[in-house]
Amino acid sequence: MKTNYLLLITMLSISVFSQKQKAFEKFDKQDMETSILVPQSPVIDLDNYNNKITNTYSFYQAYKTIAQNDFQQRLKPLSSLKEANKKSHFTNKIPLAILLSDYESITEQAFQNQAVTRDAQGYIIRSHANDIIFKKNNITIAAPLRSKHKGLETTFSIASNHIFNTTEKTIEKIAVNFDDGQGFRTVSTNQNIQVSYLKAGNKTLTFQITLDNGSVVFRQTRIEITYSNADLERNFNRMVTTFNSTITPDLSPYGETTSYNGTGEYELFLSADNVLDKPIILVDGFDPADGRDIAGIYELLNFEQNGTTSNLGDLVRDEGFDVVILNFPVYTRAADNQVIDGGVDFIERNAMLLVELINTVNAQKIGTEDNVIIGPSMGGLISRYALNYMEHANLNHETRLWISFDAPHHGANVPIGFQHQFNFLAFGLDDFTVLGDQNVEELQPIIDGMLTSSAARQMLVDQFEPHITNNDGVSFNSSLDLPQEHPYKAILDARLNSFNASGFPELTRNISIINGSGMNARYQDNTTATNNLNPGSRILNANIDVITGAELKAETRFTPNAGTQVFSSKVHLDFAWWFPLANDRINNATSTAPSFSNGVDAASGGLFDILSLTEDLETDGLVGDFLNSLSTDYFNFIPSVSSMAFQVTNNEINWFHTPSNVTTARATSNITPFDAWYMPNENEPHVTLTPQNVAFALSEIILETLSTNSFSENFIKLEQNPVSQSLTILSSQAHKNASISVVDVTGKTVLQSNLDVNQRTTVPFQMTSGLYILTIESHGNQILKTRLLVK
């Protein structure tokens, strides 16, 4: 299969080159100094690559441009470099590459003066034979063929067949500063270079390339280095355990001919007693390329209160609980020679890893305390599937509480207008007769690694692939402009609901914390006016001058009001009339909202930060201009209706449903499968903890009053915790003129009072929701100190 794929790519490359050769068949090239003629590109400025810090995708873009415009066809297809990237995951060596090339381009003045035109048959010709129309340029670019590596102990290598030199110059010496504090070191081809980094992070590699004419060229590029599990143990005494599931899910309904088990990793964060006895399992969610490691997952539990950062994990560990974090890493599978991105893998396979971990925790824990499982985002679906599976299979999960944290039980959303535009710019610009393949390489991971991943296909309520029915892979079928789920989603939904009547765990207390508004509130754009975003709102209106003679016009709108239609995406590459190398390219997409609901984009929900979707992209050039033209920083990612799992009839989901008198049961729109829930009034960023939802979570996790003295003949404690407008103190003894103080997490005193504490004493207060410390002293002695949760 791989051989056929590479053959197809090679044939397409030859086809593009043949078209270009034919177009220039009558073109007078005799005064060219090189054999590479690079037309002005509507998406990249090749000249600029010499002057900036590049990355893997910059190299891909530059290499592709030179390769397809070389009349001698000296460079192999770009697919060979991408295959080297894949192989490096198995060898654990980072391949480096260098491209050195002279090339020529046709001057803008030649086009404007019509010294270069098309004839009636479409051939590119020179109208004025004696005019100087060529401008000679040079590009030198160097980069790793992988953008990320796991491990401080890193092996780099530059193969002789990864040095691409189309010039008459000879590279005499290559030295590289790997940003490891060791300065430049000479690099020989086909030899391993061992590099030891002291800490993880983005590393800037500086290449020093010495040519035979004595000139020295410096180029810089970036690679991200993350900690390996061995690094974490060696440097931080952290123990991350890698494991495989013993249960292999059946993935044949998705067309998988062979089903494989998964690989996961977990880490224990024990409480002060250093004994695993009160487990809280936190399950990672949607995480392409393992961008959020275990430390990053733990940081999901951070929250801000009055300018101070606290962490829910730290708080529960202070109360004797143990946090177990499950991560789904990128790993290699030797059985079929595949690199698996666990963070976007099938939900069923990751669920079986959670089943494995639950069984492991239950076998290792001391005592009889039942588990708490927290599933943020996609982790909510993974944990829901795992618990359902275990109950159906009569496997004791020993879990008392399941917390679904802004999880997409009815599906997730990425605006279809964005999906169309990203896909078009990533894969829809490959068939220009003269310009060749202009696809934007750095956008392709958003499509391949996110939007067409197994998990995205299982979750998105409107996914771009079913909208496309023709062979170009990018043009939407206008007759399919209602929301279209990928077939994977229906399969997953059916499986989730096949274990029992409710489709949810039935031997646990189920609670939901959501980040979408519980009042159907709107969220705002990023303009100074902070306008509400509504169905059909225009969120992008860009006119980007990509080159002289070409302009990219892009417009994106949110999906419209119920039963109406809008152009959710418009893309127009507008070439000037005098530019002979390409015709205008227009690709639009319409969207129609169903009759029973306004379009999902503007509905209330947990908000996705658009910049986090594109944080690894270049901030200059076409993509940077595109991002800077957006009038919103967020979009609705997990609709409130989805995270609350309100039951619907005939799959007709009203995304703008306003919850009212919500009750717990298994039917109709105002009834949820959850036993308790927290819904904020305003929309919040996805999987954001706040003092208010932390107080709610702690009230569910901690069954008894926090940190109170054990019950004895002499006791003092709170009657209940959390509280709302008053707190009630229960005491076996009277305490005259006791001092009562409450401070917030910043140390600010918010309540100070002296009063007599009797058998049952109620203290009224006015405090905002959050976490506080309550201290009671009697005659100078502290008799109670506890955390106080205010709802």
189-236: pLDDT as tens digits = 999 999 999 999 999 999 999 999 999 999 999 999 999 999 999 999
Nearest CA among 439, 350, 445, 347 for reference residue 148: 445
501-541: pLDDT as tens digits = 999 999 999 999 999 999 999 999 888 888 999 999 999 99
Phi-psi region of 214 (alpha: psi -120 to 50; beta: other; left: phi over 0): left
pLDDT at 600 over 90: yes
* Contact present, 172 and 211 (Cβ < 8 Å): yes
AA identity, residue 295? A
Under DSSP, the state recorded for 243 is: E
Pick the CATH number of 716-790 from 1.10.150.110, 2.40.50.140, 2.60.40.1930, 2.40.100.10: 2.60.40.1930
Going by DSSP bridges, is the β-strand pair 676-678/671-672 parallel, antiparallel, or unpaired?
unpaired
Going by DSSP bridges, is the β-strand pair 330-333/338-341 parallel, antiparallel, or unpaired?
antiparallel
Nearest CA among 64, 57, 379, 18 for reference residue 221: 57
pLDDT for 614 equals 64
Nearest CA among 577, 570, 575, 621 for reference residue 591: 570
Distance of CA 537 to the CA centre of its chain: 24
As a whole-number percent, the residues of the chain with pLDDT over 70 amount to: 92
pLDDT at 674 over 80: yes
pLDDT at 651 over 90: no
651: CB partners within 8 A, 6+ apart = none
pLDDT for 772 equals 83
Give the mean model confidence (pLDDT) for residues 256-266.
96
Whole-number average pLDDT of the chain = 89
Q: What DSSP string runs through 152-179?
A: SEEEEE--GGGEEE-SS--EEEEEEE-S
Going by DSSP bridges, is the β-strand pair 781-790/770-778 parallel, antiparallel, or unpaired?
antiparallel
316-349: pLDDT as tens digits = 998 899 999 999 999 999 899 999 999 999 999 9
Under DSSP, the state recorded for 528 is: T
How many CB atoms lie under 10 A from the CB of residue 332? 15
pLDDT for 226 equals 96
pLDDT at 713 over 50: no
The neighbouring-strand residues paired with 608 are: 635
Lowest mean pLDDT among 2-16, 382-396, 437-451, 630-644: 2-16
Q: Where are the domains of the chain?
A: 4-229, 416-461+476-485+522-632, 716-790
pLDDT at 583 over 90: no
Greatest distance between any 2 Cα atoms in the chain: 108
| Helix, strand, coil abundance in the chain, percent, nearest 5 | 25, 35, 40
CATH assignment, 4-229: 2.60.40.10
> How many residues does the structure list for the chain?
791
Q: What DSSP string runs through 465-522?
A: GGGB-STTSSPBPGGG-S----HHHHHHHHHHTSSSSSSS-SSSEEEEE--S-TT---
Give the mean model confidence (pLDDT) for residues 487-491.
98
Nearest CA among 673, 666, 679 for reference residue 638: 679
pLDDT for 11 equals 40
pLDDT for 13 equals 45
pLDDT for 714 equals 58
* Contact present, 100 and 164 (Cβ < 8 Å): yes
pLDDT for 251 equals 97
Burial category of 779 from C-beta neighbours within 10 Å (exposed 0-12, middle 13-18, buried 19 and up)? exposed
Structure tokens at 108: 């803008």
Q: How far apart are CA 647 and CA 667, in angstroms?
A: 6
* Contact present, 588 and 530 (Cβ < 8 Å): no
Q: How far apart are CA 769 and CA 774, in angstroms?
A: 14
* Contact present, 376 and 407 (Cβ < 8 Å): yes
pLDDT at 704 over 60: no
Common-topology check for domains 4-229 and 716-790: yes
Is this structure's pTM higher than 0.85?
yes
548-581: pLDDT as tens digits = 677 888 999 999 999 999 999 999 888 876 677 7
- Inter-CA distances, 258 with 86, 495, 740, 788, Å: 21, 19, 65, 53
Q: How far apart are CA 588 and CA 55, in angstroms?
A: 31
Structure tokens at 439: 């696809």
734-779: pLDDT as tens digits = 888 889 998 886 678 888 989 898 888 998 888 887 778 888 888 7
The neighbouring-strand residues paired with 778 are: 781
The residue with tokens 């990128």 is 330
